[in-house]
Homo-oligomer: A and B are copies of this chain.
Amino acid sequence: MNDVPVTIKDVARELGVAHSTVSRAIHNDPRISAETRSRVLAMAEKMGYRPNAAARGLVCRRMQAIGLVIPAVADSFFGQITDGVDRVTYDAGFSLSLYVTHGELRRELDVLSRLSERRVDGLILMVRRLPRKLLLSLAEQPIPIVFVEPQVVGLGFDCVRVDNRDGERQAVRHLLELGHRRIAFISGPKDSRESRERLAGYREALLTAGVTPDPQLVLPGEYTEAAGAAAAQRVLEMPAEQRPTALVAFNDRIAIGAMSALQQAGLEIPRDMSLVGYDDILPATYVRPQLTTVHQPIEEMGAAAARLLIDRLSRRRGPRANRNGQEVLLRAALVQRQSTAPPGADRLGGFVGQGQGEEVIHSIS
């Protein structure tokens, strides 16, 4: 194989034409004669010519690459997001750069400061929480940025969101319909917008059903199984009359951790405690009982973000790259599996410990 890469000039020389002719032929410039074009293309093919991305990027000011900024990859949720992004970017001929932040602000800032190295033409951003000030300066960037699940509503960025409030409402309604009244919420980090939205949905569903939310039943959490286990521990320590009969968790990892801890303590799920997750990550069906959870279209979230970005790249560039953003709003939907049942019942079909609730609640679509 050739050692040194073939350039446009090599092809031109071989053919006795100007290198600009080769460039034009490659770009299907309409002014080039059909015959020349095919001669050029054939020779380029024969010599194994491939365009040099750096050179192209330098003059065109775009690298045909997009960046994905994400807290983790070895996490099913983010892995699926990445898959969705990749699918769309690959089909559109972009290459994909990965920036894993591990949720650290330092890393996030680092990525953003590298923005002007222009390695990528646009960014898909999943960050925990950026200082407002930074956010505003980001809006001025000439390169488009798409947020996934954001704190950025109203700032002009493109973004894709899922209706968290509605999703959690569905989860809680389901439990209410099963007859639960004491339902605890294991939250995510308090500074997370998603968590606040889901908490709002939880409270709303309770209030609608005439149940007064008990602040004691809102447990602090994080994103991990360990946080779920810790929260479960706290639940187990509650006096019997205070103890909830059902738990809704900010996400599946928390729910899975809680399930594990609860089972360890000898409880049987769902008989002794109902459990609802959020996300519907792949492992949600691994656990026993399989986790009832709120399904998010995870891959589609990534794909939608990528589409938004590529779409914008093909039109608006420069100073107004982050104005008048579109918002894609996706819906979440409850998936009933095996981790919920009426209080005291073995499975959904089992005996019902309490009545069906004081009032009719919307049926879940």
Question: Which A residues form the contact surface with B (CB < 8 A)?
Answer: 1, 3-6, 48, 50-55, 57-58, 63, 65, 72-76, 79-80, 82-83, 86, 90, 95-100, 113-114, 116-119, 137, 140-142, 256, 260, 263, 282-283, 286-288, 299, 318-319
Residue in B51, B80, B97, B118 whose CB lies within 8 Å of A74: B80
The interface centre, meaning the residue of A5, A137, A318 with most chain B CB atoms within 10 A of its CB, is A5
The CA of A141 and the CA of B1, in the complex, are separated in Å by: 7
Whether A98 contacts B96 by the Cβ 8 Å rule is yes
- Residues on B with beta carbons closer than 8 Å to the beta carbon of A286: 256, 260, 283, 286-287
Whether A118 contacts B54 by the Cβ 8 Å rule is yes
Whether A50 contacts B83 by the Cβ 8 Å rule is no
List 13 additional contacts besides A54-B55, A54-B63, A286-B286; criterion CB under 8 Å: A1-B141, A3-B319, A52-B117, A53-B54, A53-B117, A65-B97, A65-B119, A74-B76, A75-B79, A86-B98, A86-B100, A260-B286, A283-B283
The CA of A285 and the CA of B96, in the complex, are separated in Å by: 32
Among all A-B residue pairs, the 10 with the closest Cβ atoms: A54-B57, A74-B79, A50-B116, A1-B140, A54-B58, A74-B80, A283-B283, A288-B288, A53-B117, A74-B83
Whether A142 contacts B4 by the Cβ 8 Å rule is yes
The CA of A322 and the CA of B3, in the complex, are separated in Å by: 12
Closest residue of chain B to A80 (Cβ to Cβ) is B74
Residue in B3, B118, B283 whose CB lies within 8 Å of A318: B3
- Residues on B with beta carbons closer than 8 Å to the beta carbon of A98: 82, 86, 96-98
Number of copies: 2
Whether A52 contacts B48 by the Cβ 8 Å rule is no
Could you tell me the distance in whole angstroms from the C-beta of A296 to the nearest C-beta in chain B?
14
Could you tell me the distance in whole angstroms from the C-beta of A260 to the nearest C-beta in chain B?
8
From known contacts A58-B54, A288-B287, infer whether A83 and B90 are also in contact, taking CB-CB under 8 Å.
Answer: no
Whether A73 contacts B100 by the Cβ 8 Å rule is no
Whether A97 contacts B95 by the Cβ 8 Å rule is yes
The CA of A280 and the CA of B288, in the complex, are separated in Å by: 19
Could you tell me the distance in whole angstroms from the C-beta of A176 to the nearest C-beta in chain B?
28
Whether B73 contacts A73 by the Cβ 8 Å rule is yes
Could you tell me the distance in whole angstroms from the C-beta of A169 to the nearest C-beta in chain B?
27
The CA of A107 and the CA of B51, in the complex, are separated in Å by: 19
A-B contact pairs, 25 of them (CB 8 A): A3-B142, A4-B142, A6-B116, A50-B113, A50-B114, A52-B58, A53-B54, A53-B63, A54-B63, A57-B57, A65-B97, A73-B82, A74-B79, A75-B79, A76-B76, A86-B98, A86-B100, A90-B100, A95-B97, A96-B97, A96-B98, A97-B97, A260-B286, A283-B283, A287-B287
Whether A137 contacts B1 by the Cβ 8 Å rule is yes
- Residues on B with beta carbons closer than 8 Å to the beta carbon of A3: 142, 318-319
- Residues on B with beta carbons closer than 8 Å to the beta carbon of A99: 95-96
